[in-house]
Amino acid sequence: HFQTSSPEDDKAAAIISLNFIVPKKEINMVPDMGKWKRSQAYADYIGFILTLNEAVKGKKLTCEYKVSETVEKLLSLLNTLDRWIDETPPMDQPSRFGNKAFRTWYAKLEQEAEALVSTVIPSSVRAAAPEIAVYLKESVGNSTRIDYGTGHEAAFAAFLCCLCKIGALRVDDQLAIIFKVFDRYLQVMRKLQKTYRMEPAGSQGVWGLDDFQFLPFIWGSSQLIDHPTLEPRHFVEEKIVNEHHQDYMFLECIKFINEMKTGPFAEHSNQLWNISAVPTWSKVNQGLIRMYKAECLEKFPVIQHFKFGSLLPIQPVKP
């Protein structure tokens, strides 16, 4: 997933021969799920998630790492999306949830996505912009239903995976991809969810892990592996969360839940409460990866929306 060779141009030359295509849906019925699990896209996607899971193991958000020009450009893209939220205040409307101003905000992204992506990728692979922009547009929620869920989050991971495939992001960007780019993406998504009172997409209610996200719990639990003092049982203590959230993505997620939900933690977040009883972070991490595959990647209602192109192809993995 990560190209190591430099300079940019010999790699780009190899990529240029790729015919970029606008990604489209391929999983239309439940029996198509086998096609997805055998696909190059699935192998690359899960490989990307697990590579990053290894990269962040035992590391704090505040640790030292390289921040490349592409990462800076991605941050400025996310800052633009954030600024548009400020410029698009929620409307007065009778229903509390699903504020229709989200559609205005989304229309702006739809219009600008390709141009935004063009600013991030090398000019030699500018032809990839329409393909990659699709994943960016899919990553912020659904404008008809005004909802957001793990399928949208997956589209953002796919967006980052594509940027690695064209060589815009590299192996030595791994920490920055999670700690800078993905963390900023989460901040913007939380602001969208709060501002426009977005509905959780396909939420399993109290039985799901979280109304909106999943990946930061995986990567966040990896960060905490072998931590000298913090154990899984500690994250249900608000004092500990408030003390350590700026270092650990997992605790940032818990902090957001605590701000958004009322009542006993065991009631509003039953799955997480159960996870706090697991003895080690390593076990939590492995369990969450299994759960992610089962609850997100192998669920038709989530995967039916996933789009496939030349960078994340539906074709089966070559033997």
Summarised one tens digit per residue, pLDDT across range 80-92 is 999 999 999 999 9
Alpha helices in 245-319 (DSSP H): 249-260, 265-268, 270-275, 281-292, 300-303
Q: Which residues of the chain have pLDDT under 70?
A: 1-18, 203-207
CB 270 within 8 A of CB 261: no
Which residue spans within the chain are E strands per DSSP?
Answer: 24-25, 147-148, 199-200, 307-308
Q: What is the pTM of this model?
A: 0.94
The answer to whether residues 297 and 155 touch, using CB atoms and an 8 Å cutoff, is no
Q: 32 to each of 2, 59, 309, how far by Cα in Å? A: 29, 38, 17
pLDDT value for 17: 52
DSSP-derived secondary structure letter, 227? -
- Assess contact for 127 and 117: CB atoms under 8 A: no
Predicted local distance difference test score (pLDDT) of residue 203? 63
DSSP at 235: G
Distance CA(283)–CA(289), nearest Å, equals: 10
Tokens, residue 197: 């009172």
Task: Determine the pLDDT at residue 202.
Answer: 74
Q: What is the pLDDT of residue 78?
A: 98
Which pLDDT value is given to residue 318? 83
CA dist., res. 112 & res. 96, Å (int): 29
Tell me the backbone φ, ψ of residue 316, rounded to 5 degrees: -65, 155
- Judge whether 151 and 306 are in contact, CB under 8 Å: yes
For the purposes of burial, counting CB atoms within 10 Å of the CB of 62, is it exposed (0-12), middle (13-18) or buried (19 or more)? exposed
